[in-house]
């Protein structure tokens, strides 16, 4: 193995961006390392097939520790293991969060991360099919488009949500996030468009851009207080790769804190417990874990043309020949943002609505057509942590999410489900819906509803905040993403968010990659 100016660990929603942008300067030699392999698989490229990647070779397929507030259940946590990372596995919803998210970050010390600071970065990354305006760009690497073939039942669900008092909104990423409408998606002509497609593939044409796939980084090597490279293993062979300028960790909110701890940066007692020499004692590494709990409501429908029919030969042919039809669906086509509690600047609940049955991460089917409303708690307050299971880099990290630990989170989730029932029984869906599948049963009381939510709630696949921006006493990196206590080491992924944005985390993570690349270029 050899030497590069910059080594970026993780080719996901941020890492692909950082590496590609740094390679735009011919003066930089850049290595992008990915533990997984190619993203060129049918279940990646066909939007409606995203959940078929779960528990496959494309997935780290993590599980949480037994969750205290969910009756001791271990929660399945899919994390992509391929080029593009979770941008190759997610439901492609393009949401930036709320203006208040970024202004709060800046107010609390994340200098340079206000909404005014980051909006140009969102616009820079974006190639929006609607064209450029004050909020959107049309020249960036990330394609953002309207759904190719929106389902009629998605439009009906929007009508139903509007009938329950939520204003219509055709752009959640413009002046106002509140409202209901169709989501824009990271697709191009009916196919998924990941950061591997938008950033990595074009960068491969540059002689100074290098990619190592199927390569597991074991730890960052730190000498005299500075990162000098990474120890990695490929095809069973360990080796050392030197970084002459910087190492950037973009391995995600689970694997990045794991790598920091394996490298001697983390809670001293915890590292000592696993025989790791402490280089920087920082108890914030792996702490402050945040995600968006989600409860999936499902109801039977008599409607025709739902995703219940998606796997028929007719729709496969339509997709292969025209890139239209049911297989272009991202499943969660429509949604809404609204408040269930007062005092919050940003909405605390997001609906993600599907014209089909979706439950247990897509592993369970239902014998007849159904509709789903995912109640995603984007204003969640509960926090958890990531810890090492051992000092072996190949051991899976121990993840504790603490979903619904805070009473306010449960109250908001109950309110979201109750409003979802109003949506299902509203006039626009009358005559089209039948029996409630989930929650179902005797859940007329709030106590009964709380019990079933704790038994069935999952999450929205948005882990964040485990290496957050903050002071040396409260965070892991500074506002320029430099790891406290170590030179030439930065983090750029969702782990650096001081708090989790109120919405899907892919777009903010791409933005963090853009921010990191600019910051590195300005300070290296």
> Which residues touch 131 (CB under 8 Å, ≥6 apart)?
138
Beta-strand runs (E) in 410-498: 433-438, 458-459, 489-491
Active-site residue identified among 136, 462, 502, 506: 462
> What is the biggest distance separating any 2 CA atoms in the chain, rounded to whole angstroms?
71
CB atoms within 10 A of CB 304: 10
Q: Which residue, among 268, 219, 275, 270, has the nearest Cα to 247 in the 3D structure?
A: 219
> Which residues touch 305 (CB under 8 Å, ≥6 apart)?
151, 152, 153, 326
CB 215 within 8 A of CB 206: no
User: Angle of helix 407-424 relative to helix 446-456, nearest 10 degrees?
Assistant: 100
Q: Which residue, among 521, 512, 444, has the nearest Cα to 477 in the 3D structure?
A: 512
Tallying the residues shown for the chain, one arrives at 524
Query: Does the active-site annotation cover 462?
Result: yes
Residue 502 zone, left/alpha/beta (φ > 0; ψ -120 to 50; rest): beta
Alpha-carbon distance of 128 to 380, in angstroms, equals: 30
Alpha-carbon distance of 286 to 253, in angstroms, equals: 8
CB 296 within 8 A of CB 51: no
CB 14 within 8 A of CB 236: no
Element (H, E) at 219: strand 215-223
Q: Which residues are catalytic?
A: 462
């Amino acid at each position: 193995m050899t030497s590069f100016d910059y080594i970026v660990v993780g080719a996901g929603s941020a890492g692909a961006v950082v590496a590609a942008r740094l390679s735009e300067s011919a003066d930089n030699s850049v290595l992008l390392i990915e533990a997984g392999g190619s993203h060129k698989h049918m279940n990646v490229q066909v939007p409606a097939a995203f959940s078929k990647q779960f528990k496959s070779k494309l997935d780290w397929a993590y599980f949480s520790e037994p969750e205290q507030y969910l009756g001791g259940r271990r929660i399945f946590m899919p994390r992509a293991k391929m080029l593009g990372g979770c941008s190759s596995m997610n439901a492609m919803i393009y949401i930036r969060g709320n203006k208040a998210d970024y202004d709060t970050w800046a107010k609390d010390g994340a200098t340079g991360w206000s909404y005014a600071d980051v909006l140009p970065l969102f616009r820079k990354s974006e190639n929006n099919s609607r064209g450029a305006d004050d909020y959107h760009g049309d020249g960036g690497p990330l394609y953002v488009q309207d759904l190719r073939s929106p389902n009629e039942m998605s439009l009906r669900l929007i009508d139903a949500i509007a009938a329950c008092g939520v204003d219509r909104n055709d752009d959640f990423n413009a002046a106002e996030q509140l409202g209901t409408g169709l989501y824009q998606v990271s697709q191009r002509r009916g196919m998924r468009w990941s950061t591997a497609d938008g950033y990595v593939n074009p960068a491969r044409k540059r002689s100074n851009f290098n990619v190592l796939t199927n390569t597991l980084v074991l730890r960052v090597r730190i000498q005299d207080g500075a990162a000098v490279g990474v120890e990695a293993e490929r095809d069973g062979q360990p080796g050392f790769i030197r970084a002459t300028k910087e190492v950037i960790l973009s391995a995600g909110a689970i694997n990045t804190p794991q790598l920091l701890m394996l490298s001697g940066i983390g809670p001293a007692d915890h590292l000592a417990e696993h025989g790791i020499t402490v280089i920087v004692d920082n108890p914030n590494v792996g702490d402050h874990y945040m995600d968006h709990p989600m409860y999936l409501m499902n109801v039977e429908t008599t409607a025709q043309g739902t995703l219940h029919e998606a796997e028929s030969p007719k729709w496969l042919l339509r997709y292969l020949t025209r890139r239209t039809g049911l297989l272009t669906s991202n499943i969660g086509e429509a949604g809404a943002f609204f408040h269930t509690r007062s005092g919050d600047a940003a909405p605390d609940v997001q609906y993600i609505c599907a014209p089909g049955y979706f439950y247990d991460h897509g592993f369970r089917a239902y014998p007849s057509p159904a509709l789903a409303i995912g109640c995603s708690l984007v204003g969640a307050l509960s926090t958890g942590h990531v810890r090492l299971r051992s000092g072996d880099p190949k051991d899976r990290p121990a993840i504790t999410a603490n979903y619904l630990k805070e009473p306010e989170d449960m109250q908001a989730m109950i309110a979201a489900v109750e409003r979802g029932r109003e949506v299902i029984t509203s006039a626009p869906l009358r005559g089209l819906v039948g029996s409630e599948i989930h929650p179902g049963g005797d859940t007329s009381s709030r106590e009964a509803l709380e019990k079933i939510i704790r038994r069935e709630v999952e999450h929205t696949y948005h882990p964040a905040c485990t290496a957050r921006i903050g002071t040396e006493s409260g965070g892991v990196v500074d506002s320029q993403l430099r790891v406290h206590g170590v030179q030439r080491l930065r983090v750029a992924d969702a782990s650096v968010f001081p708090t989790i944005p109120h919405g899907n985390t892919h777009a903010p993570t791409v933005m963090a990659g853009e921010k990191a690349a600019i910051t590195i270029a300005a300070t290296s």
